[in-house]
Homo-oligomer: A and B are copies of this chain.
Amino acid sequence: MVQFSITDIQQWDRFYRGNFINCLSGFKSASLIGTVNNDGLPNLAIFSNIVHIGADPALIGYVNRPKEAAPHTINNIENTGQYTINHVHPGIVAAAHQTSAKYPLEESEFSATGLTEVYRAGCMAPFVAESKIQYAMELVEIIPIKHNNTFFVIGALQNVYLQNEDLVAPDGFINIANAGSITSLGVDAYYTTDKIARYQYAKPGKASTEIE
């Protein structure tokens, strides 16, 4: 195997290093976070570093870059306490990536990219109408990560909107691939997926067996 030490990595060009380290931790979610500021101006930005924290209470976390680099989403969440998360499918991937451009605060990424904002009862933040899996979140806690000025943003799930009920298997598994949901890699790559298998709950002394 070829080895790269942290000393090697620290000496690399910052864009090369950024691509490398972003890819190293593997495939991630590809999701658009919708927010609104105190003046009612909507914002939309793509995020990939999203994690499941727990199912009961239903908590989901995401990493927000430093405020100097990416202020709008986190500021809006701090001010309003609400946000939406919307899955990306191949039909909107180019527009979704385009939301990562540094638009001025007064320019909405919806109008800039052609994605359609939609509002629903109980949430002041906009959803992405084209997205087939959408959910509304309420802020629980923002944990500042002191080592690099990023933030771990924890939210509580409020409402889920699915394109159709058939996406949910009899055991609650959501077949997001059937909704076209994609996965992201690094800062700029997007992939469709093909199922290998689902496995039964693993038990010692019993080999992993496939579901179905």
Asked if A161 CB lies within 8 Å of chain B CBs, one says: yes
CB distance from A210 to the nearest CB of B (A): 8
Q: Given contacts A29-B25, A176-B27, is CB(A196)–CB(B17) below 8 Å?
A: no
Contact A148 B54 (CB under 8 A): yes
Q: Given contacts A25-B60, A98-B207, A188-B201, is CB(A9)–CB(B160) below 8 Å?
A: yes
Asked if A159 CB lies within 8 Å of chain B CBs, one says: yes
Q: Given contacts A6-B158, A183-B26, is CB(A168)–CB(B208) below 8 Å?
A: no
Q: Chain B contacts of A198 at CB under 8 A?
A: 186, 188-190
A186–B54 alpha-carbon span in the complex (Å)? 12
Query: How many copies, total?
Result: 2
Q: Chain B contacts of A189 at CB under 8 A?
A: 173, 195, 197-198
A162–B103 alpha-carbon span in the complex (Å)? 37
How many residues belonging to A are interface residues under a CB distance threshold of 8 Å? 116
Q: Given contacts A135-B24, A203-B101, is CB(A17)–CB(B158) below 8 Å?
A: no
Q: Chain B contacts of A59 at CB under 8 A?
A: 145, 147-148
A157–B10 alpha-carbon span in the complex (Å)? 11
CB distance from A52 to the nearest CB of B (A): 5
CB distance from A29 to the nearest CB of B (A): 3
CB-CB contacts of A156-179 with B at 8 A, as 1s and 0s?
A: 111111111100110111101100
Asked if A154 CB lies within 8 Å of chain B CBs, one says: yes
CB-CB contacts of A82-115 with B at 8 A, as 1s and 0s?
A: 0001010010011101111111100100001000
Asked if A71 CB lies within 8 Å of chain B CBs, one says: no
Contact B22 A152 (CB under 8 A): no
Contact A57 B26 (CB under 8 A): no
Q: Given contacts A26-B183, A154-B147, is CB(A6)–CB(B159) below 8 Å?
A: yes
A158–B200 alpha-carbon span in the complex (Å)? 35
Asked if A19 CB lies within 8 Å of chain B CBs, one says: yes
The 4 closest A-B pairs by CB, nearest first: A26-B29, A16-B172, A19-B172, A27-B183
